[in-house]
């Protein structure tokens, strides 16, 4: 530019807060943020909150179903009772346990591996909203005389479609969590070094992604023929109900195994020896929980199925023994998460033993001893559900600060351990005893057994309600802006118990390393 040229006119700076006619976008409201966020903590909290609510409802329904038997059909209309009986176990699994595990994982897994986010964060958010919408539709379908066993054809189909949508959503959600563990670890933290809950979620994802689409195939198969209510109550229900029969039912327990081990580690505040053994035990448990091959009676009641059922006890006993040895040596703090962990593991072992006994009875075409097969199967499903619920509640208490914003009162939580453990045992054990007794007396009156089971379901529901209420209260109090320590237990060893990821990670317990370096 020549120096003799006239200087260009100066452009006036805009004086308004909206330059050049642009409209400044208002800050999103709280509701908009919740609806559109891909933040892993928000996504996880939504899962946890709604799953706890659905668990309470489904456990109350389980109580009603058993009360119906106890009262000889005097509580509900017979058709309503049959419909609730068919759907409440599916509700417990798909609306309660699986999403609660996914919610805990969505909040905790990124923190455990020092990642600020989940992999495919928007897919995770999509999965959470799809699951929530589908779970609500499933409930609406049941209430409106539909879903499996319902008489309203449109609502029955809606229930089937809702189950399919939940399966898709949960599959997508668990893949996001697993890829996070596989891919977003910081340098120095190998896959064998991640905390056990994160490791168990990778294993869980491998099993769920091979199982849930198999159930989906049954859902689609029934749906494409334009089914009537009878089709859905027979073929449709048979196609999805194998998810709640061994070995597939153990897939509900896989995330809980990681929570149990992490709870014991926090209680002990020490390094866990033989990490590889625990990894192997979780892996074996996952292998034995793969059940897509055992969808029909023809595939079950075979030698392989019996072997799977017998072997399922072993990894649980291995974890029990390993943790027992560590706790014996380390003199742990008797914190409530440890109580939840021990209770969950013992109930899980009882469930596996129940399955093993039931499987042995298949010898001689089901007449080796002659146990009540239906009662035994119901007992095992209830015990697995009970163990899973206790373990997941333990996870909510252990990581309450990360999930709800504040630690829950430990004394009250210890009370809930007792409530949940006794609830789970009362829920499943009467059916086990009934099944065993039926070997000698086929005509025994089941009413007393069902009555005790109803009380167990109610106790378990109240325990879930207690955690949900405590969590809601903690979430409200967390808004006061109190300064919180990162590790309320004071004995955490892994990355979720610190605010800052260390520059150099040299062991599976980086927080313990830092604590030892200071002391």
Partner 1 sequence: MSIIAPTVPAPILPRRRQLLFGATFASAGFGAFILTAVGMYLQARAPIESTWLSEHAIPLTQPNVQLGTLIMSLFTVQWAAYSIKRDDRGHAFLALAITLLFGLAFLNQTWFLFTQIGLPMATVEGPLFYLVVGGHLVMVGVAIVFLALMTVRAIGGNFSSSYPDGLSAAALFWHAMVAMYTVVWLTVYIMK
Site for partner 1 in 140-159 (CB under 8 A): none
| Closer to partner 1 by Cβ: residue 9 or 226 | 226
Least separation, in Å, of the C-beta of 141 and partner 1? 22
| Closer to partner 1 by Cβ: residue 62 or 172 | 172
Distance separating alpha carbons of residues 48 and 274, to the nearest angstrom: 32
| Closer to partner 1 by Cβ: residue 206 or 473 | 206
511 close to 494: Cβ distance less than 8 angstroms: yes
193-222 footprint of partner 1 as x/- string (CB under 8 A): ------------xx--xxxxxx-xxx-xx-
Q: What does the block give as tokens for 508?
A: 């599976």
Distance separating alpha carbons of residues 416 and 462, to the nearest angstrom: 9
CA angle, corner 208, sides to 180 and 185, nearest 5?
Answer: 15
Least separation, in Å, of the C-beta of 209 and partner 1? 5
Q: Of 252, 258, 250, 201, nearest to 398 (Cα)?
A: 258
What contacts 457, CB < 8 A, 6 or more positions away? 59, 60, 62, 63, 66, 423, 427
| Closer to partner 1 by Cβ: residue 133 or 179 | 179
| Closer to partner 1 by Cβ: residue 209 or 478 | 209
- Kindly state whether residue 507 participates in binding partner 1, applying the rule CB under 8 A: no
Which of 64, 105, 175, 351 binds partner 1 (CB under 8 A)? It is 175
Distance separating alpha carbons of residues 387 and 350, to the nearest angstrom: 9
| Closer to partner 1 by Cβ: residue 34 or 210 | 210
Least separation, in Å, of the C-beta of 131 and partner 1? 16
Site for partner 1 in 225-254 (CB under 8 A): 225-226
Least separation, in Å, of the C-beta of 222 and partner 1? 8
Least separation, in Å, of the C-beta of 14 and partner 1? 32
Q: Of 456, 302, 329, nearest to 385 (Cα)?
A: 456
- Kindly state whether residue 171 participates in binding partner 1, applying the rule CB under 8 A: yes
Q: How distant, in Å, are the alpha carbons of 16, 247, 329 from that of 203? A: 56, 16, 29
196 close to 124: Cβ distance less than 8 angstroms: no
Q: What does the block give as tokens for 306?
A: 């019996």
What phi, psi does 473 have (nearest 5°)? -65, -45
Which of 53, 144, 179, 373 binds partner 1 (CB under 8 A)? It is 179
274-313 footprint of partner 1 as x/- string (CB under 8 A): ------------------x--xx-----------------
Q: What does the block give as tokens for 32?
A: 């908009």
Distance separating alpha carbons of residues 54 and 100, to the nearest angstrom: 10
Least separation, in Å, of the C-beta of 120 and partner 1? 6
Q: What does the block give as tokens for 309?
A: 């059922």
Q: Which stretches of 20-73 are assigned E, i.e. beta strand?
A: none
Least separation, in Å, of the C-beta of 178 and partner 1? 7
| Closer to partner 1 by Cβ: residue 235 or 422 | 235
| Closer to partner 1 by Cβ: residue 22 or 225 | 225
Site for partner 1 in 350-409 (CB under 8 A): none
- Kindly state whether residue 501 participates in binding partner 1, applying the rule CB under 8 A: no
- Kindly state whether residue 178 participates in binding partner 1, applying the rule CB under 8 A: yes
| Closer to partner 1 by Cβ: residue 101 or 385 | 101
Widest CA span in the chain:
114
**Rg over CA atoms, the chain:** 25
How many C-beta atoms lie closer than 10 Å to residue 311's C-beta? 16
How many C-beta atoms lie closer than 10 Å to residue 298's C-beta? 8
Q: Give the rounded distance of the alpha carbon of 496 from its chain centre.
A: 19
Q: What does the block give as tokens for 63?
A: 């109580």
Which of 140, 184, 314, 317 binds partner 1 (CB under 8 A)? It is 184
| Closer to partner 1 by Cβ: residue 156 or 215 | 215
Distance separating alpha carbons of residues 68 and 75, to the nearest angstrom: 5
405 close to 424: Cβ distance less than 8 angstroms: no
Q: Give the interface size with partner 1 as a residue count (CB under 8 A).
A: 28
Site for partner 1 in 110-139 (CB under 8 A): 119-120
Least separation, in Å, of the C-beta of 502 and partner 1? 20
Least separation, in Å, of the C-beta of 296 and partner 1? 8
| Closer to partner 1 by Cβ: residue 208 or 371 | 208
Least separation, in Å, of the C-beta of 123 and partner 1? 8
Distance separating alpha carbons of residues 100 and 388, to the nearest angstrom: 10
Site for partner 1 in 57-96 (CB under 8 A): none
365: left (phi > 0), else alpha (psi -120 to 50), else beta?
A: left
| Closer to partner 1 by Cβ: residue 67 or 205 | 205
| Closer to partner 1 by Cβ: residue 184 or 433 | 184
Q: What does the block give as tokens for 394?
A: 């333990």
- Kindly state whether residue 188 participates in binding partner 1, applying the rule CB under 8 A: no
351 close to 286: Cβ distance less than 8 angstroms: no
- Kindly state whether residue 317 participates in binding partner 1, applying the rule CB under 8 A: no
- The footprint of partner 1 (CB under 8 A) covers 119-120, 171, 175, 178-179, 182-184, 205-206, 209-214, 216-218, 220-221, 224-226, 292, 295-296
């Amino acid at each position: 530019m020549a120096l003799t040229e006239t200087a260009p006119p100066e452009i006036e700076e805009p004086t308004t807060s909206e330059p050049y006619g642009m409209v400044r976008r208002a800050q999103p409201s709280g509701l908009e943020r919740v609806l559109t966020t891909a933040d892993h903590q928000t996504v996880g909290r939504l899962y946890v909150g709604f799953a706890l609510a659905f668990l309470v409802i489904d456990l109350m329904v389980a109580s009603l179903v058993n009360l119906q038997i106890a009262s000889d059909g005097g509580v509900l209309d017979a058709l309503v009772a049959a419909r609730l009986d068919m759907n409440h176990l599916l509700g417990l699994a798909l609306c309660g346990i699986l999403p609660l595990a996914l919610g805990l994982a969505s909040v905790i897994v990124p923190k455990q591996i020092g990642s600020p986010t989940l992999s495919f964060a928007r897919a995770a958010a999509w999965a959470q909203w799809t699951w929530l919408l589908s779970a609500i539709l499933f409930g609406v379908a049941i209430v409106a005389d539909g879903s499996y066993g319902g008489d309203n054809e449109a609502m029955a189909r809606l229930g089937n479609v809702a189950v399919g949508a939940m399966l898709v959503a949960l599959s997508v959600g668990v893949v996001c969590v697993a890829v996070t563990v596989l891919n977003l670890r910081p340098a120095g933290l190998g896959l064998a070094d991640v905390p056990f809950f994160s490791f168990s979620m990778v294993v869980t994802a491998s099993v769920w992604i091979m199982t849930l689409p198999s159930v989906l195939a049954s859902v689609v198969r029934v749906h494409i023929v334009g089914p009537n209510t009878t089709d859905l109550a027979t073929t449709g229900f048979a196609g999805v109900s194998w998810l709640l029969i061994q070995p597939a039912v153990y897939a509900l327990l896989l995330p809980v195994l990681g929570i149990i081990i992490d709870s014991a580690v926090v209680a002990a505040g020490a390094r866990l020896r033989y990490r590889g053994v625990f990894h192997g035990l979780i892996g074996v448990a996952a292998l034995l929980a793969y059940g897509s091959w055992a969808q029909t009676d023809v595939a079950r009641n075979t030698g392989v199925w019996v072997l799977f059922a017998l072997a399922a006890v072993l990894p649980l006993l291995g974890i029990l023994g390993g943790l027992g040895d560590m706790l014996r040596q380390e003199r742990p703090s008797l914190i409530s998460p440890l109580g939840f962990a021990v209770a969950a593991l013992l109930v899980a072992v009882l469930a596996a033993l129940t399955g093993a006994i039931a499987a042995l009875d298949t010898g001689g075409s089901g007449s080796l001893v002659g146990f009540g097969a239906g009662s035994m199967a119901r007992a095992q499903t209830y015990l697995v559900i009970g163990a899973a619920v206790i373990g997941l509640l333990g996870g909510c208490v252990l990581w309450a600060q990360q999930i709800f914003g504040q630690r829950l009162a430990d004394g009250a939580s210890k009370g809930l351990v007792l409530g949940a453990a006794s609830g789970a045992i009362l829920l499943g054990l009467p059916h086990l005893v009934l099944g065993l007794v039926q070997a000698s007396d086929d005509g025994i009156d089941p009413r007393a057994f069902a009555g005790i089971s109803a009380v167990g379901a109610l106790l378990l529901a109240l325990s879930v309600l207690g955690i949900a209420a405590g969590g809601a209260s903690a979430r409200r109090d967390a808004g006061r802006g109190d300064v919180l320590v990162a590790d309320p237990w004071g004995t955490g060893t892994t990355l979720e118990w610190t605010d800052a990821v260390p520059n150099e990670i040299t062991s599976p317990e980086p927080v313990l390393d830092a604590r030892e370096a200071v002391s």
